[in-house]
Amino acid sequence: MDLIEEIKKRSMHVDAGIEEYLPVNKPYELYKAARYLPDAGGKRLRPATVILAAEAVGSNLENVLPAAVAVELVHNFTLVHDDIMDRDDIRRGMPAVHVKWGEAGAILAGDTLYSKAFEILTHAPGEPERILSCIDILSKTCRDICEGQWMDVEFEERDDVTKEEYLEMIEKKTGVLYAASMKIGALMGGASTEVADSFYEFGRLIGIAFQIYDDVIDMTTPEEILGKVRGSDLMEGKKTLIAIHALNKGVDLKIFGKGEASNEEINEAVNKLEEAGSIDYVRDLALGYVANGKELLDIVEDSKAKTILKAIADYMITRSY
Q: What is the pLDDT of residues 96-133, one digit of tens each?
A: 999 999 999 999 999 999 999 999 999 999 999 999 99
Instruction: Give Cα separations from 166 to 36, 160, 161, 200, 224 (angstroms).
Output: 31, 11, 7, 20, 29
pLDDT score at 98: 96
Q: Where are the domains of the chain?
A: 3-315
Cα-Cα end-to-end distance for the chain: 21
Q: What local confidence, expressed as pLDDT, does residue 256 receive?
A: 87
The DSSP H or E segment spanning 247 is helix 241-248
- For the residues 188-217, what does the mean pLDDT come to? 96
Q: DSSP character for 239?
A: -
Kindly report, residue by residue over 250-302, the tens digit of the pLDDT. Answer: 998 888 888 888 888 888 998 999 999 999 999 999 999 999 999 999 999 99
Give the mean pLDDT of the chain. Answer: 94
* Annotation: CATH topology of 3-315: Farnesyl Diphosphate Synthase (1.10.600)
